[in-house]
């Protein structure tokens, strides 16, 4: 199933078309970590792409966003998308040692298989009102149904957490586990400018994708709700984590002001945003 309705013949070859959730309040991050992971990788490597916004999972062959279409072939799941992009665009092989690769895998596992579930529980399950406020405007339902739609999303996430075995944790246990995840990531990020070396690698797309969205959500929680999530508090006060996120952001979103202006002009993401290779320059 193609991601997008435009015929493949109308799409320029070697230009990636990505479908993802609309950009969040910052104006230049796509909603959800997976969209940031894929987009930040493309931007770091100056891969020409067009971003299409939507919330309908039916456009993806796996039922999850983002997905991409490149030269008539659709790929979903951020890790496999990145692997395909590296292959299709003949990106130079990352010169990483065995230890650096192992560290990268460890960081990915922390976020993909642990911290993300705890973040979902802290945000979607425990703070559904904030979720409705932030994501309600992008839902394909009238405003009076935003709360109901997010309530359904909450039920779906609870079922998912139960399937993963995370739903059985008490509040004390999951907060302790979430905090341990962030503390471990912070310790590993102290060792170099980027996640596993002195240069940007594919690992940074993943780590940045999760930390940037966690930081964004933490900043928008009411103070009394933020006080209940120690992991969010650590993300906000950690000099290491904030310097890291800002450093990767400078590499991947040097044109943030331009994207912000585009998003303000079209806040619901009705029109695709095009980024040819020459677009990746810092605004003066």
What pLDDT, on the 0 to 100 scale, is given for residue 118?
83
Q: Which residues contact 73 (CB under 8 A, 6 or more apart)?
A: none
Q: Which residues contact 219 (CB under 8 A, 6 or more apart)?
A: 236
Q: Are 220 and 25 in contact (CB under 8 A)?
A: yes
Q: Give the Cα separation of 236 and 207 in Å (integer).
A: 16
Residue whose pair of structure tokens reads 């040819």 in the numeric block? 276
Helices 33-44, 202-220: inter-axial angle, 10-degree rounding: 130
| Nearest Cα residue to 108 out of 159, 37, 176 | 37
**pLDDT digit of tens for each residue in the chain (284 aa)?**
444 555 554 568 889 999 988 886 556 666 678 899 999 999 999 999 999 988 777 788 888 888 999 998 999 999 999 999 999 999 988 999 999 999 999 999 999 988 988 888 877 666 667 666 666 666 666 666 666 666 666 666 666 666 666 667 788 888 899 999 999 999 999 999 999 999 999 999 999 999 998 998 899 888 998 999 999 999 999 999 999 999 999 999 988 888 888 888 887 778 888 888 766 654 43
Q: 69-79 as b/e, with b when 16 or more CB fall inside 10 Å?
A: bbeeebbbbbe
> Measured between alpha carbons, how far apart are the two ends of the chain, in Å?
41
The reported pTM is 0.84
């Amino acid at each position: 199933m193609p991601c997008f309705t435009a015929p493949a013949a109308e799409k320029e070859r070697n230009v990636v078309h990505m479908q993802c959730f609309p950009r969040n309040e910052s104006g230049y991050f796509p909603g959800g970590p997976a969209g940031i992971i894929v987009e930040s990788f493309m931007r770091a490597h100056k891969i020409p792409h067009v971003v299409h916004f939507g919330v309908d999972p039916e456009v993806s062959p796996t039922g999850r966003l983002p997905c991409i279409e490149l030269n008539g072939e659709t790929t979903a799941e951020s890790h496999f998308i990145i692997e395909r992009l590296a292959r299709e665009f003949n990106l130079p092989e990352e010169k990483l040692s065995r230890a650096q690769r192992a560290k990268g895998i460890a960081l990915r596992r922390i976020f993909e298989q642990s911290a993300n579930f705890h973040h979902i529980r802290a945000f979607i399950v425990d703070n559904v009102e904030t979720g409705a406020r932030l994501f309600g405007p992008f839902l394909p339902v009238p405003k009076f149904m935003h709360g109901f739609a997010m309530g359904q999303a909450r039920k779906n996430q609870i079922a998912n957490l139960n399937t993963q075995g995370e739903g059985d944790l008490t509040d004390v246990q999951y907060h302790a586990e979430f905090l341990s995840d962030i503390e471990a990531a912070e310790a590993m990020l102290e060792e170099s400018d980027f996640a596993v070396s002195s240069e940007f690698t594919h690992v940074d797309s993943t780590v940045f994708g999760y930390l940037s969205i966690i930081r964004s959500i933490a900043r928008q929680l009411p103070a009394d709700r933020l006080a209940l999530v120690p992991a969010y508090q650590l993300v906000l006060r950690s000099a290491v984590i904030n310097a890291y996120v800002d450093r990767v952001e400078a590499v991947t979103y040097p044109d943030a002001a331009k994207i912000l202006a585009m998003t303000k002009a079209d806040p619901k993401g009705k029109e695709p945003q095009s980024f040819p290779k020459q677009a990746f320059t810092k605004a003066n």
